[in-house]
Structure 1
């Protein structure tokens, strides 16, 4: 497929890897921010092709994974009401709340529907004026503009039976939170290309300068990621800490000005809790005063719902890059995609799901004469 196959060219990948191997003289730890990048890395085994000293730390860039448990419980409470049509993207239906998920609400008679756009939910509100239609708006800067635009359209058209349950988060404050953590080992970042497509790169130079950390904007195909790693390694070896755009075919420095204006109109920046991480100042959005009437949390009065995270699930440590998924004792046993303890095992972008799908098997290597049996990981 044109514009895709060329970013999976093994010969070009070898050249990039040769450059990385030739350049790296020290051990370096870098974090890929986005869960989509994590899945590409694990699926293609890119981390296993790097020099031994280059470690990829899997970051918190999975929107499903960082949606707080209490927001999931609020969604479940709203979706259970008989006058509600609750709309969501499909990846949220199996994310566990305290006691159940949206699939169980649906099986118990709740009107829970999978949609492919927030505008689908708005259309349902127009054609079902006797129902309250709620769209579950989660995600990073990538999905926020269409959700903002849908609320804008609802107000413009006077559709008052539509609301948005908001759980949007922002990447730059998360990078700051990671870098100020006493346990931080991150020395460079691979920034998410789709986020920068919307927001541009202006928020990253102050972070690179303050923490002396290279930030390279990358895409999601194998060559995109290897090029991002290559540039980060060069910066680290040179002692530089700059923002580089390795995804120029998509990302402009100014981002998408129209989308940014829509976000500034409909949303306002607030402190936001991240699942497994906690409160990060100025890291999220909520509806601004002009659109507050479309806030589902306010309309259905679920703001007082508070929950306790599981003590068994270690997804918070995974999201912060403190452990790899397989280092959790519940991984692949108590926690599987069929019976997930946390969102990192459910989401199509979750690190735990990536390890389970592509690198979960441990098989015994056959010993030779006089040799002891060893365990070899296969992806």
Structure 2
């Protein structure tokens, strides 16, 4: 438990909670509303509820749940396109498990698999590469999904496929980047945010400087945080301290893991394989400029969009959420999960309407599992 137990120490947590309370009281003397801090990452959301931090912190602090789950922000149209590829003759479609149950406009990948499509869960793109080696007569497609955290592994798999000449391997690229949607939220005049807790695993790859614009241009503090309870409490304290002192900076609470300038090997692989898309559609946020990655022309032979004529290489249709589903409002912090009219009624983990109830990092799943909302709904 070393490097975990020391970040779950009750004495340390109590000391941080006391300091948070003092800072919140100090800030609250000059304002009426709580300090709104958005945790961008869904992993942070689950840690907050797993350890009850939402109930332990001072009432002058409000956690706002952001769009930090790549499965959650995946538009329904992209799921439909996955199924379109998977149902083509001779295709083995591979994906991470948390994407299997995300509903498209008619069904999920899991339901398409039950109907006969050859869809297989893998733990990494290297598993998909091995399937391509073992099945040279089949087209093996990997669903490249995730933020900067998973982007390097997909890039390395494409580079390896190119070295081996695996012509039957391709990637349906849906990798997206974190800074651009934060900018979109900050540009929204209806969004009231006082600071951010940044995703530590993303910064393991990209470092901390891609967030400089948040402090420089919007004068909001952001603290890159780890995932243990005292990591999060210390990060909240650091955000509050900046606000109390009238500062807005990018700070790195997760310095034991996150290098200032990121991981050079990962960044080089990303730069070699991908380029920015002009725009990419996010569930709940719409099209956001330069927020998605696509495979460079040099690796076009491994681009499933080009190979199968789908996605942004084909005819695309934007699809609204199902009636009554409020995933977009929840992901952008405008609504808490329990305020969605479908939460615990038309939308449960067993029969989800939206991705937020499916994903292991979804805010609705966190409320259902840890927040006591399940009992309330029942």
Provide the residue aligned with 2:152 in structure 1. 145
- The alpha-carbon deviation at position 6 of structure 1 amounts to 1.3
> 1:301 aligned to 303, 309, 315, which one?
309
Provide the residue aligned with 1:317 in structure 2. 329
Output aligned runs, 1:1-379, within 5 Å: 1-24=1-24, 25=26, 26=28, 27-270=34-277, 271-302=279-310, 303-309=314-320, 310-361=322-373
CA distance in 1, matches of 2:141, 2:191: 38
- The alpha-carbon deviation at position 277 of structure 1 amounts to 1.3
- The alpha-carbon deviation at position 74 of structure 1 amounts to 0.4
SS at match of 2:290: strand
Residue-pair matches, total? 365
Contact 2:214 2:221 in 1 (8 A): no
CA distance in 2, matches of 1:189, 1:108: 43
- The alpha-carbon deviation at position 207 of structure 1 amounts to 2.1
SS at match of 1:29: strand
Contact 2:44 2:227 in 1 (8 A): yes
CA distance in 1, matches of 2:326, 2:49: 20
- The alpha-carbon deviation at position 361 of structure 1 amounts to 3.7
- The alpha-carbon deviation at position 311 of structure 1 amounts to 3.1
Provide the residue aligned with 2:31 in structure 1. none
Contact 1:65 1:350 in 2 (8 A): yes
CA distance in 1, matches of 2:374, 2:200: 33
Q: Deviations over 1:21-63 (max 9, x none)?
A: 0111223101000000000001111011111121010000001
Contact 1:332 1:360 in 2 (8 A): no
- The alpha-carbon deviation at position 362 of structure 1 amounts to 7.2
CA distance in 2, matches of 1:142, 1:174: 16
Cα RMSD for the two superposed structures = 1.3
Contact 2:349 2:365 in 1 (8 A): yes
Provide the residue aligned with 1:373 in structure 2. none
Contact 1:98 1:307 in 2 (8 A): no
Structure 1 runs of 4+ with >4 Å offset:
none
**Which consecutive unaligned segments of at least 5 residues does structure 2 have?**
29-33
**Which consecutive unaligned segments of at least 5 residues does structure 1 have?**
364-376
